Structure 1
Amino acid sequence: MIKIIFLFLIFAQIYYLSSSANLTEKEKLDKAQKIVDKANAKNKGKWIAKLHDRIAKLEKHSVMLGAKLKVPKKQVSTPEKTNLRRKRSIPASFDVRTGFSSCAGIVGMIQDQSSCGDCWAVSTASALTDRYCISQVKKGNSAPLKTNPSVYFSALELMSCTPGMWGCDGGDPYYAWKYTQTSGLVTGTNYTWNSGCKPYPFPPHGSTEYTAPSCVSSCTSSAWNVAYTQDKKYTKTTGYIQSNVAAIQNEIMANGSVVAAFDVYDDFMYYSSGVYQANFG
């Protein structure tokens, strides 16, 4: 059993997305192009919007947005030394992939959630994967290899097994993190790689609206040769970062990726590059 110390961050999330139901494919694309043009006219180069055909053709953009926050008013547990960590000098820019260069390959792996509203589970599993690599390096161990499936955590298990959540219909990252502490989390890579105890079940860029599989206490991959209970790793503490920019920056520089949810407007669905700032929705 391996214990990992980590922190996480959650913001509120609200949806402001318009529906494309009952529009023809051309009408959907035309509507999306107008949003892209309007966004780029207002952005003045701060960020670039680009037409994404798959997103434009979705009947409901909300299928991709699964954060349903139900965090308890009183925090159940407090991260160790959250407020005592020495303040760092914050640079003008910081990239976790260069700050922890030996983990760059793992941090740079982006999980495609497909057409399932489990961003709350995918982001938690991905952040934990990053932070596990970084924690090993900070302990003086060699960085896990990018090609080693045993260092990637399963979004499928969080999606299917986190109590009180709704799988592809949404969930709260807070409870996903709590699951890693109380129940542990097995390995699982993305759909394409298809390795680990519970690899992701849905293909990238999926066009079907998927439903989360039922929770099972066994590996879903018959090729994985580690028993389910032996495959689990447990986190030691979970909690929040202080809700200010400096605290978030310090946490990222100290320990790597954090999880956040935010308000999503129409224009964000066509984000391409730059530093996003909402213009309309």
Structure 2
Amino acid sequence: MRERLMRFNFLTRFLTKIMLNILLIFFSLQFVLIASFESSEILNIIGNVFDGKLNEEEVKKLAEEISLIKEVYDVEINEEQIRKIAGDIAQINEQNGGYWKAKVNYYSLLPEDEQKRICGVQNNGRSKNGDAKPEFPILEKLANNDDCVTEIEFDARENWPDCSSFINYIQNQGRCGSCWAVSTASAYTDRSCIQRSLNGLSTSIDDPSLHFSSTDVMSCSIDYDGCEGGWPSKAWQWIQSNGVCTGTDHVWNNGCKPYPYEPKGKAEQVKCEAECKNTDWTTEYSEDKHLGIFE
């Protein structure tokens, strides 16, 4: 009797495991089917709106960005919205005389309130904590030379090819109005690379010591939450006076102070600290600083 009971219990557990595995496979297939349906639907919408104006790679990238926005912001982007954005971009391209070409990108697809959230440049007046806009000397306006009729095209990536990977890279600032700090740190990184190239030094984008920290700028050049906005001009002044440490984007997560915010999730305030946040980084914060004068 006891042996039969043990066999029964074993059989029951065995069948239960089989049923659980079947259910797991079923729900996994359902998820895949739903995801495939949604991806197919997005691709159809893009195809209807742009009607062959985008190549296969551009269509795929746009579909991925729409899916990411849905995942991060829980926002459905419908065909009407994409048509409006596409119409606005077409109008821009008609008005710019063909000098450059605007395209649909991740940021143009964001909800309006999220677009405002990440636009953190303070152009005038005072910041949210009352800080006044920094004063800078106004350069004299240069008179136009009527004899100069030559149209000049300048691409920094072509002019300094050793630094094209740096110049061409755009860091994702996440859900934080830190564009004023991210752009300044990125421009400083580019200019540092250009100077190194002119001096015959290494300009490898794979070297984390050649990337400079927007986190250091964002958290230390002002005395309030850098996600609330700031001034690029003040950031440049701070770098010149205090120096900036190394730090890559969130994905690479390298250097002394890497960027803390991923594309999704709330951006919590980062405090200014005179130490590296990356515990694997062997250079001390004070020694890692680079001043605004390029070596």
TM-score by length of 1: 0.63
**Separation of aligned partners in 2, 1:153 and 1:91:** 34
Equivalent position to 1:94, from 129, 154, 169: 154
- 1:209/1:40 CA distance change after superposition, 3 Å: same
Equivalent residue in structure 2 for 1:64, among 118, 141, 144: 118
Q: What's the counterpart of residue 150 of structure 1? A: 209
Paired residue type of 1:211? E
Structure with bigger gyration radius: 2
Structure 1 pair 42–219 and aligned structure 2 pair: CA distance change class (3 A): same
Compute the displacement of 1:179 (Å): 1.1
1:124 maps to amino acid:
T
The SS at the match of 2:292 is strand
Partner of 1:103: 163
Map of 2:277 onto structure 1: 220
- Is 1:177 equivalent to 2:231 in the alignment? no
Do residues 36 (structure 1) and 85 (structure 2) align? Answer: yes
In 2, distance between residues paired with 1:96 and 1:212?
A: 34
> Given the alignment of the two structures, is residue 75 of structure 1 paired with residue 137 of structure 2, yes or no?
yes
Give the 3 Å change call, closer, same or farther, for CA 195–99 of structure 1 in structure 2.
same
- The one-letter amino acid paired with 1:122 is V
Distance in 1 between residues matched to 2:259 and 2:150, nearest whole Å? 36
Runs of at least 5 residues in structure 2 that lack an aligned partner in the other structure: 1-73, 125-132, 143-148
Deviations 1:173-192 (A, max 9, x none): 01111111111110001111
Contact 1:103–1:143 (8 Å) recurs in 2: no
Aligned residues: 201
Q: Which has the higher contact order (CA 8 A, sep 6+)?
A: 1
C-alpha offsets along residues 2-26 of structure 1, whole Å, 9 cap, x if unaligned? xxxxxxxxxxxxxxxxxxxxxx944
Listed one character per residue, the Cα deviations across residues 68-92 of structure 1 (whole Å, up to 9, x for unaligned) are: 135434439x9xxxx9xxxxx9763
Please identify, of 57-66 and 186-195, the stretch whose mean Cα deviation from structure 2 is larger: 57-66
CA RMSD of aligned residues (A): 3.1
Q: Return 5+ residue gaps in structure 1 as ranges.
A: 1-23, 84-88, 238-281
- For 1:170, the aligned partner's letter is G
User: How far, CA to CA, are the matches of 2:164 and 2:107 in structure 1?
Assistant: 30
- Determine if contact 2:114/2:175 at 8 Å carries over to the other structure: no
- Extract structure 1 runs of 4+ deviating beyond 6 A: none
Change (3 A) 1:236 1:25: closer
Identity percentage of aligned residues: 29
Contact 1:165 1:171 in 2 (8 A): no
> Is this contact kept in 1: 2:178–2:228, CA < 8 A?
yes
Contact residue 188 and residue 198 of structure 1 kept, 8 A: yes
C-alpha displacement of 1:59: 4.2
In structure 2, do the counterparts of structure 1 residues 90 and 214 end up closer, same or farther at CA, with 3 Å as the change threshold? farther
Aligned pairs for 1:137-216 (under 5 A) are 137-138=197-198, 140-164=199-223, 166-203=225-262, 206-216=263-273
Q: Shift of residue 135 of structure 1?
A: 1.2
The residue identity in structure 1 corresponding to 2:292 is: T
Q: Distance in 1 between matches of 2:109 and 2:135?
A: 35
The structure-2 alpha-carbon separation of the partners of 1:49 and 1:31, relative to structure 1 and needing over 3 Å to count, comes to farther
The DSSP-based 3-state class of the residue aligned with 1:113 is coil
Corresponding residue for 2:292? 235
How far did residue 42 of structure 1 move? 2.5
1:197-244 CA-to-partner distances (Å, cap 9, x unmatched) read 0011112xx23341331111100000000011000011149xxxxxxx
1:245-264, aligned counterparts within 5 Å?
none
Structure 1 residues 123 and 143, CA gap change in structure 2 (3 angstroms): same
Deviations 1:112-167 (A, max 9, x none): 111110000000000000000111222x3224211111011000011111124540
